Amino acid sequence: MVDDTATLKRVVSINVPKTGGLQLSYTIVVNGVKHDVDAEGDTPLLWVLRDILNMTGTKFGCGIGLCGACTVHANGSAVRSCQLPLEDTVNMRITTIEGIGETAIGKQVQERWLTLDVPQCGYCQGGQIMSATALLTRTPRPKDKDIDAGMAGNICRCGCYSRIRAAIKQLGEAQTA
């Protein structure tokens, strides 16, 4: 796990792509691994993850920050990757659904999701797990209002909300046992 991303420096080489637009190279850290990415700075992280780094676990839903399917962690906080420009991620520690199981709480969340058979179609579930993990990391024993706030904006068109809430509550109760 890389723990000092502040030392990473933005690469200054400038390429002029065939389209004539200005393209920069950025070094970002995803799931503890450095990646050199050639893309324009305002490219949303979601596009970088899926189309350049081939990490397709993070899903495209709305593209405008309203559904939560694209949720990742930036320095441990849940963020919508469709709204996060590549140039802003250079000194961040990015974690995706592919890497969250390497964290203690992320692993517990994934296991509880399986135990309670939370997903239906599964499309939203990467984002749900990322938000739940951020919530439980920040608030180990969340009350209903904490769950409401922490999971707000993570939409599930299959309506799995009651199982999602039950899984989070069980994880919280396990902290007090």
User: Which residues lie near ligand FES (CB under 6 A)?
Assistant: 60-63, 65-70, 80, 82, 119-125, 156-158, 160
**Residue at token pair 């970002």:** 28
The Cα 151–Cα 168 span in angstroms is: 10
Judge contact between 139 and 108, C-beta under 8 A. Answer: no
Q: Kindly state the greatest CA–CA separation across the chain.
A: 61
Rounded (10°) angle between helices 161-176 and 144-151 = 130
CB neighbour class for 23 (10 Å; exposed up to 12, middle 13-18, buried from 19): middle
Q: Closer to ligand FES at the Cβ: 24 or 125?
A: 125
The Cα 33–Cα 2 span in angstroms is: 7
CB of 9 to ligand FES, least distance (A): 29
Helix (H, G, I), strand (E, B) or coil at 148: helix
CB of 11 to ligand FES, least distance (A): 27
Judge contact between 93 and 29, C-beta under 8 A. Answer: yes
CB of 97 to ligand FES, least distance (A): 13
The Cα 27–Cα 135 span in angstroms is: 28
CB of 110 to ligand FES, least distance (A): 15
CB of 127 to ligand FES, least distance (A): 8
Q: Closer to ligand FES at the Cβ: 24 or 132?
A: 132
**Residue at token pair 């400038």:** 14
Q: Closer to ligand FES at the Cβ: 3 or 42?
A: 42
CB of 137 to ligand FES, least distance (A): 20
